[in-house]
């Protein structure tokens, strides 16, 4: 075996060593390993990583490199079209086999098929695996053999399917001779002038160890009560695993088995655990939809929305992006997103509903902003969720259900802790007017140091009127469809 040619492991959105089937298969082959990561901006086109994702990627690659070097391996970094880079690395290393874990972005599926054929034509053995999902999207089917369009029966089917146990990290591997690698710094993934990500490190520890630690802390501190508290942005009530899951620093199978083992060991919390796993199930559903409807990120899943009379006012869109809408819960969410690269799910729904229904801006523009600013920006989850809020998606919230940003704020941030944290200029307002500062008396505003229109904006639209306009707009497409 000493002279066996190397095997190439192509890391993509699976930046971990445990439960990584491609890496495991390479280790089990006993052959020397070349580890490669390619920055694929050209191949990705419009869906190249956004700014916050690039920040995460830089940290995650640094962490993966450190983990690999403990096993005596190097991570080779290259950029460019994957087909060309792979051919070069295969030529340089003499590898005769390649292992990768499958990705499900439509551009990747098409691109990977081409690459696979080209490599096989050149005599390279290509093996791909599932590392990112509980089940492959094509294996979850209705009784009639069709893809699911509704979440509940999808989940009912999914949760009954056996989930393979996670694969342990290989204890020993052989390294292939070193190849030249780009210096990560030259990829300029980190923002400069200004460094808008300067607060990110206080919130995140990218990398496999950080992911495992997040899961353990969540199971210990927040699983119990998750079912009730998961809607509260003022509490640390959810796992915040989404960027780790997106980058594959932890896999859903690990989360599945670890969560079930935790409740078995600690008893109770059964309902909370299944609620949590059902959210991981929503992620699977998003991937299922993206796989079967690859236009999901760009086109309305329900074509009747193609005729929707959007207003798409630039100034209103800008105010939304910057967290200057005059609606405190919306502004808190948009500022949390900018400062940390993440936003609580409840507030994602509120801010998305506000953009689409109060401002009549097409959902794709919100999707694009989230794509650029979220550290967990994920083609499947982002697209499916925006279409869910818009009412244009599969199993979506009905269009006429329009979130009221005041009552949502009062319900889910009852003491105003969340708004006070992210909109500090309103912090001194009393609870009863915090979510609607325009109803505060002159005395209340003065005592809190708030001058509406100066220190904090007036509402950019009147919610009641905006709601009516949105419903009228919806009527027009309903009429057309009738």
- Number of alpha carbons in the 13 Å side-chain half-sphere of residue 87: 12
Would you count residue 381 as binding ligand FAD (CB under 6 A)? yes
Looking at 173, 241, 390, 466, which residue binds ligand FAD (CB under 6 A)? 241
Using an 8 Å Cβ cutoff, are 272 and 237 in contact? Answer: no
DSSP three-state, residue 197: coil
Would you count residue 385 as binding ligand FAD (CB under 6 A)? yes
Distance, in Å, from the CA atom of 22 to the CA atom of 219, rounded to the nearest integer, reads 28
For the CB of residue 76, give the shortest distance to ligand FAD in the complex, in Å: 28
Distance, in Å, from the CA atom of 356 to the CA atom of 343, rounded to the nearest integer, reads 17
For the CB of residue 106, give the shortest distance to ligand FAD in the complex, in Å: 16
Would you count residue 377 as binding ligand FAD (CB under 6 A)? yes
Would you count residue 63 as binding ligand FAD (CB under 6 A)? no
Distance, in Å, from the CA atom of 78 to the CA atom of 85, rounded to the nearest integer, reads 7
Catalytic residues: 279, 282, 310, 345, 363, 386
DSSP 354: I
Would you count residue 240 as binding ligand FAD (CB under 6 A)? yes
Distance, in Å, from the CA atom of 230 to the CA atom of 225, rounded to the nearest integer, reads 8
Length of the chain counted residue by residue: 482
Distance, in Å, from the CA atom of 132 to the CA atom of 297, rounded to the nearest integer, reads 19
Would you count residue 325 as binding ligand FAD (CB under 6 A)? no
Tokens matching residue 40: 């694929």
Q: Mark residues 328-347: x for contact with ligand FAD by CB under 6 A, - for none.
A: -----------------x--
Would you count residue 249 as binding ligand FAD (CB under 6 A)? no
Residues of this chain, 263-322, that bind ligand FAD according to CB under 6 A: 279-280, 282-283, 286
Q: Mark residues 125-164: x for contact with ligand FAD by CB under 6 A, - for none.
A: ----------------------------------------
Name the one residue in this structure whose structure tokens are 């801010």: 351
Using an 8 Å Cβ cutoff, are 146 and 293 in contact? Answer: no
Looking at 40, 112, 376, 413, which residue binds ligand FAD (CB under 6 A)? 376
Number of residues that bind ligand FAD (CB under 6 A): 27
For the CB of residue 225, give the shortest distance to ligand FAD in the complex, in Å: 12
For the CB of residue 321, give the shortest distance to ligand FAD in the complex, in Å: 14
Count of CB atoms situated within 10 Å of the CB of 265: 8
Using an 8 Å Cβ cutoff, are 178 and 319 in contact? Answer: no
Taken in order 183, 188, 192, 198, the sign of the CA dihedral is: negative
Would you count residue 364 as binding ligand FAD (CB under 6 A)? no
Question: By CB under 6 A, which span of 69-77, 168-176, 330-338, 380-388 interacts with ligand FAD?
Answer: 380-388
Would you count residue 47 as binding ligand FAD (CB under 6 A)? no
Name the one residue in this structure whose structure tokens are 């075996």: 1
Looking at the Cβ atoms of 320 and 456, the one nearer to ligand FAD is: 320
Would you count residue 219 as binding ligand FAD (CB under 6 A)? no
Residues of this chain, 387-446, that bind ligand FAD according to CB under 6 A: 389
Calculated CA dihedral for residues 382, 102, 218, 419, nearest 10 degrees: -20
- Number of alpha carbons in the 13 Å side-chain half-sphere of residue 110: 5
Strand partners, 79: 39
For the CB of residue 88, give the shortest distance to ligand FAD in the complex, in Å: 32
Q: Which residues of the chain form contacts with ligand FAD (CB under 6 A)? A: 230, 238-242, 245-246, 279-280, 282-283, 286, 345, 348-349, 352, 370, 374, 376-378, 381-382, 385-386, 389
């Amino acid at each position: 075996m000493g002279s066996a040619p190397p095997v190439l492991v192509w890391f993509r959105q699976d930046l971990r060593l445990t439960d990584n089937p491609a890496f495991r298969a390479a280790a089990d082959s006993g052959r020397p390993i070349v580890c490669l990561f390619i920055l694929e901006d050209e191949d990705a086109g419009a869906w190249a990583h956004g700014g916050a994702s690039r920040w995460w990627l830089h940290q995650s690659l640094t962490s993966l490199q450190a983990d690999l070097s403990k096993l005596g391996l190097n991570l080779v970094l290259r950029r460019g079209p994957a087909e060309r880079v792979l051919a070069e690395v295969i030529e340089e290393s003499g590898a005769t086999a390649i292992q990768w874990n499958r990705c499900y972005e439509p551009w990747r599926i098409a691109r990977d098929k081409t690459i696979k054929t080209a490599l096989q034509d050149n005599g390279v053995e290509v093996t791909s695996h599932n590392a990112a999902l509980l089940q492959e999207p094509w294996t979850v089917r209705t009784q009639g053999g069709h893809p699911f369009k509704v979440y509940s029966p999808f989940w009912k089917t999914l949760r009954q399917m056996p989930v393979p146990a996670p694969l342990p990290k290989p204890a020993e591997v052989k390294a292939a001779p070193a190849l030249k690698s780009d210096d990560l710094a030259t990829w300029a993934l980190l923002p400069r002038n200004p460094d808008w990500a300067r607060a990110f490190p206080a919130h995140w520890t990218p990398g496999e160890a950080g992911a495992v630690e997040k899961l353990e802390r969540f199971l210990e501190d927040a699983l119990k009560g998750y079912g009730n508290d998961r809607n509260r942005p003022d509490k640390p009530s959810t796992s915040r695993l989404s960027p780790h899951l997106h980058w594959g620093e932890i896999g859903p199978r690990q989360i599945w088995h670890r969560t079930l083992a935790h409740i078995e060991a600690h008893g109770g919390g059964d309902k909370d655990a299944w609620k949590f796993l059902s959210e991981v199930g929503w992620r699977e559903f998003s991937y299922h939809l993206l796989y079967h409807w690859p236009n999901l990120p760009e086109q309305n899943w329900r074509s009747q929305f193609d005729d929707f009379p959007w207003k798409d006012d630039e100034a209103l869109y800008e105010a939304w992006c910057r967290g200057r809408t005059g609606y405190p819960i919306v502004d808190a969410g948009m500022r949390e997103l900018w400062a940390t690269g993440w936003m609580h799910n409840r507030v994602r729904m509120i801010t998305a509903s506000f953009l689409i229904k109060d401002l009549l801006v097409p959902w794709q523009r919100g999707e694009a902003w989230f794509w650029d600013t979220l550290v967990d920006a994920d083609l499947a989850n982002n697209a499916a969720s925006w279409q869910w809020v818009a009412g244009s998606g599969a199993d979506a919230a009905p269009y006429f259900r329009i979130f009221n940003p005041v009552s949502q704020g009062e319900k889910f941030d009852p003491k105003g802790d969340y708004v006070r944290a992210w909109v500090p200029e309103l912090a001194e307002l009393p609870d009863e007017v915090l979510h609607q500062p325009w109803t505060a008396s002159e005395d209340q505003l003065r005592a809190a140091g708030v001058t509406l229109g100066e220190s904090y904006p007036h509402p950019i639209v009147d919610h009641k009127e905006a709601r009516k306009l949105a419903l009228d707009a919806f009527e027009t497409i309903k009429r057309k469809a009738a």
